[in-house]
Amino acid sequence: MFEKWTENWILKLVSLAFAVVLWFFVIGERNLEVSYIVPLEYQGLSKDLIIANEVPSSVSVRIAGPRALLMHHTAGDVSIAVDLKELPAGVTSFKRLEESLNIPTGLKVTRISPSYVDVKLEHIREKSVPVRVVLSGKPVEGYKVTKTRVEPEQIAVFGAGSELKAVSEVVTESIDLTGVQESFSQTAPIDYVGNYTYLEKQKTVEVEVLLAPDPDFPAAKEPKTETQGGASEK
């Protein structure tokens, strides 16, 4: 029995290897469908323009093709470039995004969502607005804030003109007065986050907070009398 199994062992080994290769070939040719989240890369935007609407940062894509190709294809190999070069201000619709997908020949896009993207471009404008100092907490009893000064008094905001229309001021991060009883100065960051507007260079200001005794505080109103020895009477 053993001799029958060992007869022509080379031929049998070759046949087995051929069967394995054929099996891998058949499996490799079988089609699969895989889903990817593909980033959208907005390229070539002019320096004097800004995207002034909400645009997707990625799309969902389903790709079908031979297993052998898909096995060597990862999500990091896929991207879509949206070319904004030389586009004028206004709304431009980019349709059939799958045509910009960089995938190997032999693979096919079966689904993409969203399938298009609208990009609104506006010229970058500048607007100077006043800075408002924000205070929190209370100073020591008997003291009050008499005045605040800020330098610079105004800051330039840049971005889409449609949003700048609604920007009337910027504010500082809150300055805590808890336990304070004398005037002080400090650097304060500007607390500003716009959708399509931004601060370019000036992002902090110098704030001076002036404090003084509160004349309306009860202790300040108590009358004082002196005895002949110079001590105050209770």
Task: Give how far Cα 112 sits from Cα of 23, 207, 211, Å.
Answer: 33, 52, 62
pLDDT tens-digit readout, 26-62: 444 567 788 888 899 999 999 999 999 999 999 998 8
What pLDDT is stored for residue 108 in this prediction?
A: 83
CATH of range 124-217; options 3.30.1490.190, 3.20.20.70, 2.170.120.40, 3.60.15.10: 2.170.120.40
The β-bridge relationship of strands 49-51 and 135-136 is: unpaired
How many CB atoms sit inside 10 A of residue 39's CB? 15
Domain regions of the chain by residue span: 31-115, 124-217
Query: How much is the pTM?
Result: 0.71
Query: Which segment of 60-64, 135-139, 148-152 scores lowest on mean pLDDT?
Result: 60-64
> What percent of the chain shows pLDDT beyond 70?
78
